[in-house]
Amino acid sequence: MRLGPIMFVGTGSDVGKSVVTAAFCRIFLQDGYSPAPFKAQNMALNSYVTPDGLEIGRAQEVQAAACGIAPHTDMNPILLKPCGNNISQVVLNGKPYGNSDAYSYFRGEGRDLFVKEVRDAYDRLATKHQLIVLEGAGSISELNLKANDIVNMSMALYAKASVILIADIERGGVFASLYGSIMLLDQEERSLIKGIIINKFRGDIRLFDSAKKMIEDLCGVPVLGIIPYFKDIYIEEEDSVAISKRGNCFIENRVNIVVVYLNQMSNYTDFAVLERDSRVNLYYSKDPSEIKKAQIIIIPGTKSTLSDLHYIRANGIASAILDAHKSGSTIIGICGGYQIMGEEILDLEGVEGDIKHMPGLSLLPLRTYMTHDKITNESEFILNSEFINHQLSGVKRDYKLDSFNVNMRGYEIHMGRSEYTCLNPKYLLMKPDGTKDGYWSEERLFGTYMHGIFDNSKFVDLIIAPYSNLFKDEQYNLNYNPYHFREDQFDKLAKLFRESVDLEKVYKIIKH
């Protein structure tokens, strides 16, 4: 049975649209349907590579996983990746289309093309699935941007979707935000609003009964659910809005790992598994004094390598990293962070801006050339056996060397190519085609272009092995499986929503 499309929109940004969409994706899957997510336009630095080597927003990959299907560019045909200075890279159907300043893009430059591509993607997706679960972006009532909107109500009108409006009660002003959002729509758009979901409610929901009735009378549509605030269900977030507040800067009897909080940090979900490792205390910081305290420092990926390199030099972070290394800390660079650890970065083609050359941290014998070509692919790899042996040398815990010679998985999203500046470089990993990537040093310095490398439990074991005296045996979880954990979280999320939402009314709305 084919159901009408449903769309979740918001009174503003960060009200929980992506998580709500993921919850309903899983519920519809559990109820025997074939759902698929769709977001016409996403703005995020947290992206993902599809199985066919194309790029979409990470949120749509998460939602696809909740649907039990592989991610596809039709689920997110336009991805905007901020580069700084109000410039974003426009990724169209998974491939870089060009750079645009915010004024030109949101004033409608190229809008006809984008509208066509977005609608074509939606139509293709709708022919393959029983139910499309759409997500809006930001607020539905930004009047100054409405004329060129391709992601909110204009998309809802095209899809003839039943629209559910989400408000974040934790922010306050829920009455005004809901009523104002609906009343600022024109009549045709307003007719699509079929219900309201109140998100992030704290306390006894019974105390909200009278408020619920007031909202329904005021807005003329039912409140379909009130979702309690939760912290015990882990769903990957769309972007790093609150990431700098995670974690304490130092905990005893843990391996303390700090991720340097860069201005243009991308793919922060690289560290999701580390956040849940009981042996590790992971935190994010741009404070040099906090960075120095960690046993392991990770320089993450960035959309603007040269800009963030300049930033960490100007704010004392680079000096803190170098001082920490001299004191024995491990330094790891991922993608842009790997480039930053090298000797120099050259941008002779002006890929990132006007800076043509900048010296790196000179921690690795590496020279990087920025190029317009973008590399996006998923890949298997194996670790260099010399790296494995070195990491385990002198470690008293009983690690079996053979157990680390296994296929691992990751993905690449980067612009620029790096070359070694030394003879006989110590590569970190090798792909099935013999391509070598990364570099490792006996001084506990290593880096790679491979995102998702920390999702491989054996790699995590290797990087913390030299510090294994800091944690107890009972903290070591050998049974952790990222896939099973993720599936369990989707099911927990669906259970919470089943308890909090009137699903009978939801189905009645989309079965019209």
* Distance between CA atoms of residues 470 and 465, nearest Å: 10
Residue 244's nearest CA partner among 257, 230, 260 is: 260
To the query of whether residue 451 is one of the catalytic residues in this protein, the response is yes
Q: Out of 83, 129, 335, 414, pick the active-site residue.
A: 335
Which of 72, 129, 414, 451 is catalytic? The answer is: 451
Instruction: Tell me the CA distances in angstroms from 224 to 10, 236, 313, 506, one per residue in order.
Output: 15, 24, 51, 7
DSSP secondary structure letters along 161-222: PEEEEEEEGGGS-HHHHHHHHHHTS-HHHHTTEEEEEEEEE-S-GGGGHHHHHHHHHHHSS-
| Residue 241, C-beta contacts closer than 8 angstroms, at least 6 positions apart | 14
Alpha carbon distance 67, 65 (integer Å): 5
What is the identity of the amino acid at 238?
E
For residue 310, indicate whether it is catalytic: no
Residue 470, both tokens: 């800091």
Specify whether the CB–CB gap between 223 and 212 falls below 8 A: yes
CA separation for the pair 34, 36 (Å, rounded): 7
User: Residue 370 in contact with residue 352, Cβ under 8 Å?
Assistant: yes
Amino acid identity of residue 446, one-letter, is F
The answer to whether 417 and 366 are in contact (CB under 8 A) is: no
Active-site annotation, residues? 335, 451
